Amino acid sequence: MKVLFVCTGNTCRSPMAEGFLNKIAKENNDDSISAFSRGLAAYGERVSKNSLEASKKIDVQIDSHMSRQLTVDDIINADVVLTMTKDQCSFLKSEVGKYKDKIYCISEYADSEEISDPYGQNLEVYEKCAQSLFNACRKIYEKHMKGQK
């Protein structure tokens, strides 16, 4: 299963989620699930410094990540597309209605909270965001292992 995480700029939330889900799969020697990430407005930037620091505390390195703009091909190639907020989910479904059945807000899919954008805030906010994402990724992995969508 290919999971596509989508956030605004692909420099904070979605790269962390990508790293966390891939870490969980690797720790379980499971190549049946993998993650990648994109942004709704991404411009080839590096991951934010605070995202790097927050991810390191969960033992995930994302320092080589460069933000990438979401394309329709990305959506086609994913089995499930997870946005960070309900607004992003609604927007994406309205833009690519043909594929709306594979697009969810992470809060709906992982039975968690929406993931607010920490951009420009202090490290503590990023750490809370990272922990919320890591918890959501564990739920996503557990759901995958149960064979649910």
Quick check: 106 and 82 in contact, CB under 8 A? yes
> Of these residues, 13, 89, 105, 137, which one is catalytic?
13
> Of these residues, 7, 89, 105, 137, which one is catalytic?
7
Annotated catalytic residue 13: yes
Quick check: 17 and 54 in contact, CB under 8 A? no
Measure CA 103 to chain center.
Answer: 12
> Of these residues, 46, 74, 117, 138, which one is catalytic?
117
3-state secondary structure of 109: helix
Residues carrying an active site annotation: 7, 13, 117
